[in-house]
Amino acid sequence: TVGAIALDNAGDLAAGTSTGGRSNKMYGRVGDSPIIGAGTFAENGVCAVSGTGEGEYFIRFVAAYDIAALMKYKNLPVESAAAEVVFDKLKAAGGEGGVIALDAEGRFAAPYNTPGMYRGYVTRDGQIEVRLY
């Protein structure tokens, strides 16, 4: 699974996710990547989110939207909202995975409960950072 989240100069946020699903999956099995609110979500003024991991958990916990809701209704910063969903909800329920999340001010969070997650970002002045573990 791959994903991207972006914040442009107009202040608009966007998110996208694309996947081959899970290896050896059942014919017709669909995970969270094409499910808006589960694996992908973007709302101006709040955040953009893209997830990766065991899709069934991201769907059941409406993970991507839950991060936005925690920010909107509990005023959590993106870092805490993303961590709460990935560790306190998904991991606690046995769901493996991670997210990348970006708020409207350009704050970035990338929590994951697996051994690693391939992730990277670019800052406004063009600094690129890629991390795998």
Catalytic residues: 1
93 binds other proteins (CB under 8 A): no
73 binds other proteins (CB under 8 A): no
Enumerate residues 22-41 that contact other proteins by CB under 8 A: 22-31, 33-36, 39-41
Minimum CB separation of residue 29 from other proteins in Å reads 8
d(CA 33, CA 115): 21
Element spanning 129, H or E: strand 128-131
Do 1 and 19 touch, CB atoms closer than 8 A? Answer: yes
Phi, psi of 87 (to 5 degrees): -100, -50
100 binds other proteins (CB under 8 A): yes
Residue that the structure tokens 């993303």 belong to:
82
Enumerate residues 38-57 that contact other proteins by CB under 8 A: 39-46, 48, 50, 52-53
